[in-house]
Amino acid sequence: MNAAGSRTILITGVSKGLGRALAVELSKRGHTVIGCSRAQDKLNALQLELSNSDPNGSSSSSSSDRHLFLNADVRSNSSVEELARLVVEKKGVPDIIVNNAGTINRNNKIWEVPVEEFDTVIDTNVKGLANVLRHFIPLMLTNKQGIIVNMSSGWGRSGAALVAPYCASKWAVEGLSKSVAKELPEGMAVVALNPGVINTDMLASCFGNSAALYQTPEAWAFKAATMILNLTTADNGASLTV
């Protein structure tokens, strides 16, 4: 596995925002993308887009075979278990995993956040990430190699009013990443990655129209892809920022 060679990269939450932009960028660079999401229509659209823009100039059908997009809900342990089974069966063990799936609460003081909304943030951002680690780390252990990128946030290293559930979930991502880093064998690494501030639907839910002042997911993905592809075992346990 080297920076120049083609890698197999699993990205959760690939149907929109940063996950989608990262998938498109990595595909452009000739890497194999495995993506999951709950939105089948968006998975189909992404599959079609990547098939039509294959950098290797190969036919549309062979390009669509190169990538794999699967309907999965990271909040469900059994769904992730099935995802892992299908991924290994069809593409082998990923070289890199990007735990990107995430959600945020609507701006609200903690005592006004509906219980279901709080649970969705924690179930997606923390339990969902743990489900992926539970089922994919054992697969990576057999190869004694693999890089895991857990998407964090600047709000996983600071606090902000009205998004306490989200901040709590991303602080959990930071702590989980640092702890798991101490459990991995040599040859593997896990990092917490703060993507920075990007104009996504999630940012718009917090910032409103001013979200448009920030960089696009596509501009971000160009930098993020380079950074992720160049991570090494020396980065194990690090809290990084794009």
For the domain that residue 136 is a member of, what is the CATH number?
Answer: 3.40.50.720
90: its two tokens: 């069809």
Q: Is residue 3 part of a domain?
A: no
The per-residue pLDDT for 203 is 84
Q: Identify which of 196, 177, 71 has the alpha carbon closest to the alpha carbon of residue 133.
A: 177
Torsion of the alpha carbons at 48, 46, 79 and 224, rounded to the nearest 10: 140
How far apart (Å, rounded) are the C-alpha atoms in residues 238 and 29? 25
Catalytic residue among 166, 184, 190, 228: 166
Count of domains forming the chain: 1
Q: Is residue 2 part of a domain?
A: no
The per-residue pLDDT for 62 is 54
* Structural domain for 146, as ranges: 8-241
How far apart (Å, rounded) are the C-alpha atoms in residues 64 and 128? 27
Q: Is residue 120 part of a domain?
A: yes
Q: Is residue 1 part of a domain?
A: no
The per-residue pLDDT for 63 is 53
SS3 58: coil
The per-residue pLDDT for 151 is 98
* Residue showing tokens 């609460």: 105
Spell out the per-residue pLDDT of the chain, length 242, in tens.
Answer: 444 589 999 999 999 999 999 999 999 999 999 999 999 999 999 999 998 876 665 544 555 589 999 999 999 999 999 999 999 999 999 999 999 999 999 999 999 999 999 999 999 999 999 999 999 999 999 999 999 999 999 999 999 999 999 999 999 999 999 999 999 999 999 999 999 998 888 888 888 888 888 889 999 999 999 999 999 999 999 999 99
Q: Is 214 a catalytic residue?
A: no
The per-residue pLDDT for 59 is 47
The per-residue pLDDT for 237 is 98
The per-residue pLDDT for 199 is 83
How far apart (Å, rounded) are the C-alpha atoms in residues 155 and 69? 30
Q: Is residue 199 part of a domain?
A: yes
